[in-house]
Amino acid sequence: MESMNFELGGEGPEGLLAGESGGSNAFSVSEFVGLVESAIKSSVPSQVWLTGEIRQLSHAQSGHVYLDLVDKGVNEGANLATVKVACWNTNYRKIHAKLTQAGLKLEKGMVVKLFGEVRIWKVGIQVQISMIDIDIEALMGGLALARENLIKQLIVEKVFENNKQLEVPLVPLRIALVASPSTQGYLDFMGQLKASGFNFQVKDYATTVQGEQAPSSIAKAINLANESEADVIVLIRGGGSKGDLATFDHELPVRAVVNSNKPVFSGIGHTGDLSVVDLVSNQCFATPTACGRGVVSLVQEFWDFVQLKFSEVIISSRSVIDSQERFAISRKESISSLGRQIILRLSQWLENYRNTISKGVMHSIEVEKKAILNFKGGVVKAAIREQDRWDYEIISWKKDLSRSLINGVDKLDEEFSNRHKLLSAFNPERQIERGWSLTTRLDGAIVKEISQVEEGSDIITRLKGGNLKSKIERIERKQ
């Protein structure tokens, strides 16, 4: 604590002058303490408003609260100016009520403006402020200002959009979950994943989500999650007061998100403004439950896409096979028709040529007849050779077409096998064999939400080894 110097003028007790020393003229301890107390009281008002940063904070079992206030932004040091503040339980109950109504609570590092009485403790000559009241508006304004300054700084550094620019994997089944295990928010999120029937792999990174240690704990958990093989990092917390949720406006978790090399999904329960963590996250949701639904919807979209493409492959394969068969038949018919046309035209030409020969020149007729017969034989042979050549080409085309169809079918079989392996991980039957259950109505519809059934309805629960048929006697809905 800095030393305080007071100029004490005039005569002291017993007629002694301040500054005289030696012999019987020395002050007694009580005289000196009284002199200092008088000097302080004459120089300092009995009640003051004081602004400072809470450096130390402790709550006694008696209900008293003790603070150490320092100037905002001053680093630790031997000569750090510090004011001791005590808030007695009778006053603190009133102050605590005001803080609670505003959704706030006192924490280390918070800058406060408080009102109190100046008291001097003779033991050690300590000056202490007895806290009477606190300026709630100034406190909220300080938090809002710090929040806005952090956002502006991130924008200036061009890192505000860092996490939003990261690409989310197509099937985010591997989840690094930063949360406080066993809390309601944790259970709500996990409930959505389990109800989906997909094979999610979740690794917990436990952290505190409120209190003075929460910002550093959350930041550490996010940094550790970045070293994993997770597809996305999910940060969740259930609802709370403004003071509790102020953790997510703190620079430490915010910096951890913007520096993350994996997409961060936030599911922080809130009804008012988004936290800074929400603003810089890849995707943000209003509650842990909504966050769980958002993750499931991404996997569901992929699953629907796979099913659609699988159907398209089957339809396309059938179309290709039908088209090739029609093409082969059409080519064969065209070649046969061409051969018949050639023979017909030759026969017509021979008949016309014979009719033009003079009946009076028999020798010429015989000669020409032989020539015609030879020519006809050559034409027929040529036509037969042409027919044979086309038959050979038809057989070759048929073989090529068969190989092409076989290769196409083999590729389709291989692609189907690969997709079957991928889809088998999502097969509900496998999940049932692993110990999960699947509930359906009598019409076969899967029961995903309580609104799908009503009291008196019959349901079927599929388990490993068989099915259970049940009737709903009572429905208990979440409040």
pLDDT tens digits, one per residue of 443-463: 888 888 888 888 888 888 888
How much is the average pLDDT of 126-133? 87
Asked if 238 and 267 count as a contact pair (C-beta separation under 8 A), the reply is no
26 vs 103: which has the higher pLDDT: 26
Residue 152, amino acid: K
Q: In the numeric block, which tokens belong to residue 46?
A: 């009995």
Any idea which fold 13-135 has?
A: OB fold (Dihydrolipoamide Acetyltransferase, E2P) (2.40.50)
Per-residue pLDDT band at 331 (split at 50, 70, 90): low
Range with lowest mean pLDDT among 14-28, 229-243, 404-418: 14-28
pLDDT at 2 over 60: no
pLDDT at 10 over 50: no
Per-residue pLDDT band at 174 (split at 50, 70, 90): very high
Query: Alpha-carbon torsion 421, 427, 429, 433, what sign?
Result: positive
What is the value of pTM for the model shown? Answer: 0.50
Which strands, in side-by-side order, build the sheet including 201-206? 201-206, 174-179, 232-237, 264-268, 283-285
Phi and psi for 236 in degrees, rounded to 5?
-130, 155
Per-residue pLDDT band at 423 (split at 50, 70, 90): low
Mean pLDDT of the chain: 80
Q: Percent of the chain at pLDDT above 70?
A: 78
Asked if 244 and 210 count as a contact pair (C-beta separation under 8 A), the reply is yes
Per-residue pLDDT band at 15 (split at 50, 70, 90): very low
Per-residue pLDDT band at 178 (split at 50, 70, 90): very high
Residue 30, amino acid: S
Q: In the numeric block, which tokens belong to residue 180?
A: 């406080």
Phi and psi for 118 in degrees, rounded to 5?
-85, 120
Asked if 280 and 163 count as a contact pair (C-beta separation under 8 A), the reply is yes
Helix/strand/coil for 67: strand
pLDDT at 333: 67
Residues 6+ apart with CB under 8 A from 93: 63
**Most confident residue range from 78-82, 246-250, 418-422:** 246-250
Q: In the numeric block, which tokens belong to residue 26?
A: 């020395």
Per-residue pLDDT band at 360 (split at 50, 70, 90): very low
pLDDT at 104 over 80: no
CA distance 402 to 397: 8
Q: Look at the block and give the residue holding tokens 């999120």.
A: 189
pLDDT at 7 over 50: no
pLDDT at 261: 95
* Distances, alpha carbon 248 to alpha carbons 156, 218, 220, in Å: 20, 9, 14
pLDDT tens by residue, 187-202? 999 999 999 999 999 9
**Residues 235-267, buried b or exposed e (16+ Cβ, 10 A)?**
bbbbebebbbbbbbbbbebbbbbbebebbbbbb
pLDDT at 290: 93
Cα end-to-end distance, the chain, whole Å:
54
Asked if 103 and 241 count as a contact pair (C-beta separation under 8 A), the reply is yes
CA distance 112 to 241: 18
pLDDT at 332 over 90: no
pLDDT at 98: 83
DSSP 3-state percent helix, strand, coil across the chain (nearest 5): 50, 20, 30
CA distance 249 to 265: 16
How much is the average pLDDT of 281-307? 92
Q: In the numeric block, which tokens belong to residue 127?
A: 């000056």
How much is the average pLDDT of 361-372? 62
pLDDT at 249 over 50: yes
Domain boundaries, the chain: 13-135, 146-187+209-286, 317-426, 430-471
pLDDT at 64 over 80: yes
